[in-house]
Amino acid sequence: MTVVTGRGLVRTFGEGRAARRVLDEADVDVGEGEVVAVLGRSGSGKSTLLHVLGGLDRPEAGTVEVAGQRMTGVSERRLSAIRGRHIGFVFQFFHLLPELTGAGNVLLAGRVPGARRDAAARARALIARLGLEDVAGSLPHQLSGGEQQRFAIARALVNDPSLLLADEPTGNLDEESAAGVLTLLRGLADEGRAIVLVTHEPAAAGIADRVLRLEAGRLVPA
């Protein structure tokens, strides 16, 4: 079953002669249990693609559907509800709130409007599953990079999303921590989630079922 579909996606930055079209009628499909890695040079639009697929940015043209829900042409309120229920985000720099503990960051995701009723219990279970119980009370600056990223992944999974969007998730980690995060992401896909992974690292692309390259605004097999 297809989890996310993008058709004819267009996104341009700048105006006039300085305009640069980073997405030029790009198409993509990702199914349940599939990891798709997206490669491309710096500035090619890889992060923009993730933001458009996840509803953090709106395309100028084209359509996006996630879990059968249309993401384009809907209100911000509707978009926020779909994101909260069906999409998880993982970023290179973790984006943990510095004043909250690791556990607090994960639990916070279960307090947003539309969160699952069992979000708090699920958050605690994810912390245990990811081997973070011993450091759950630590603040982000007291954690290693690998620990911070695992807390960020736990936070992304609190509402059990069908789609996980990961933007350079190992780009700020040492080799050992990166390997652990990649093993975790592969396991999450094997449970049935769709994962779109933006990366420039061969090891990260190595866990993918398909590898695409973003070239001249379109996605082509790498």
Indicate which CATH number applies to the domain containing 123: 3.40.50.300
pLDDT at position 201, please?
86
Smallest CA-to-CA distance from 87 within 167, 147, 203 is with 167
CB atoms within 10 A of CB 109: 21
User: pTM for the full model?
Assistant: 0.92
Q: Which domain holds residue 55?
A: 2-221
pLDDT at position 154, please?
94
Rounded CA separation 71/51 (Å): 12
pLDDT at position 109, please?
85
pLDDT at position 128, please?
93
Three-state secondary structure of the chain = CEEEEEEEEEEEECCHHHCEEEEEEEEEEEECCCEEEEECCCCCCHHHHHHHHCCCCCCCEEEEEECCEECCCCCHHHHHHHHHHHEEEEECCCCCCCCCCHHHHHHHHHHCCCCCCCHHHHHHHHHHHCCCHHHCCCCHHHCCHHHHHHHHHHHHHCCCCCEEEEECCCCCCCHHHHHHHHHHHHHHHHCCCEEEEECCCHHHHCCCCEEEEEECCEEEEC
Residue whose pair of structure tokens reads 């079953």 in the numeric block: 1
- For the chain, which ranges sit under pLDDT 70? none
pLDDT at position 117, please?
82
To the nearest 10°, report the CA torsion of 144, 148, 153, 158: 130
DSSP bridge pairs for 12: 21
pLDDT at position 111, please?
80
pLDDT at position 183, please?
94
Q: How many domains does the chain have?
A: 1
Q: What is the pLDDT of residues 116-153, one digit of tens each?
A: 788 889 999 999 999 999 999 999 999 999 999 999 99
pLDDT at position 162, please?
95
Task: State the sign of the Cα–Cα–Cα–Cα dihedral 152, 155, 157, 162.
Answer: negative
Cβ-contact 155, 147 below 8 angstroms: no
